[in-house]
Structure 1
Amino acid sequence: MEYLIIVLQLIVGLSILNVWLVQYNKATRWRGGDATTIVEEFRAYGLPDWSVYVVGAIKTVLALLLLAAIWYPVLRFPAAIGLAAMLAGSVLMHLKISDPLIKSFPAALFLMMCLIIAFVPENAVLN
Structure 2
Amino acid sequence: MEYIIIALQLIVGLSILNVWLVQNQKATRWRGGDATTLVEEFQAYGLPVWSVYVVGVIKVVLALLLIAAIWYPALRFPAAIGLAAMLTGSVLMHLKISDPLYKSFPAALFLVLCLIIAFVPGS
Task: State the TM-score bracket (shorter-chain normalisation).
Answer: over 0.9
Q: 1:24 & 1:103 partners in 2: Cα distance?
A: 16
User: Which ranges of 4 or more aligned residues in structure 1 deviate by more than 6 Å?
Assistant: none
Q: 1:41 & 1:91 partners in 2: Cα distance?
A: 13
Alpha-carbon offset, residue 122 of structure 1: 1.2
Kindly tell me the number of residue pairs found equivalent between the two proteins.
Answer: 123
TM-score, normalised to structure 2's length?
0.99
For residues 1-127 of structure 1, the aligned pairs below 5 Å read: 1-123=1-123
Amino acid at match of 1:35: A
Which ranges of structure 1 fall in alignment gaps of 5 or more residues?
A: none
CA RMSD, Structure 1 to Structure 2 (Å):
0.3
Q: 2:10 & 2:122 partners in 1: Cα distance?
A: 15
Amino acid at match of 1:103: K
Amino acid at match of 2:42: F
Amino acid at match of 1:94: H
Which ranges of structure 2 fall in alignment gaps of 5 or more residues?
A: none
Q: Taking every aligned residue pair, what percent have the same amino acid on both sides?
A: 86
* Cα displacement string for residues 70-120 of structure 1 (whole angstroms, at most 9, x for unaligned residues): 000000000000000000000000000000000000000000000000000
Q: 1:49 & 1:78 partners in 2: Cα distance?
A: 27
* Cα displacement string for residues 10-45 of structure 1 (whole angstroms, at most 9, x for unaligned residues): 000000000000001000000000000000000000
TM-score, normalised to structure 1's length?
0.96
Amino acid at match of 2:95: L
